[in-house]
Amino acid sequence: MTWVCRLFHGIHELHLQFEGYRQQYVINLKNVTKQVIGYFGPKAMTIYGLKICK
C-alpha cells in the first residue's frame, strides 16, 4: 500500500491567473498514476481532471 502513496508524491495543482482568466491544472500525472486514480472511481477522476471513459 505504501507504493500507492508514493505514486502521488510530486503531483501538484497549478493555478494560473492572467487578466481575469483563471485556470487550474493537475500536473506531473504519469500513466500509472492515472490508472490508479481510475480504480478510485469517477469522482476521483473528476477531482484530478481526467476524462471519464465509459
- Domain chopping of the chain, boundaries: 2-47
Q: How far apart are the C-alpha atoms of 33 and 3, rounded to whole Å?
A: 11
pLDDT of res. 6: 92
- DSSP result, 3-50: HHHHHTTT-EEEEEEETTEEEEEEE---HHHHHHHHHH-HHHHHHTTP
- Residues shown for the chain: 54
Q: According to the model, what pLDDT value does residue 43 have?
A: 95
pLDDT tens string 1-54: 788 899 999 999 999 999 999 999 999 999 999 999 999 999 999 999 998 876
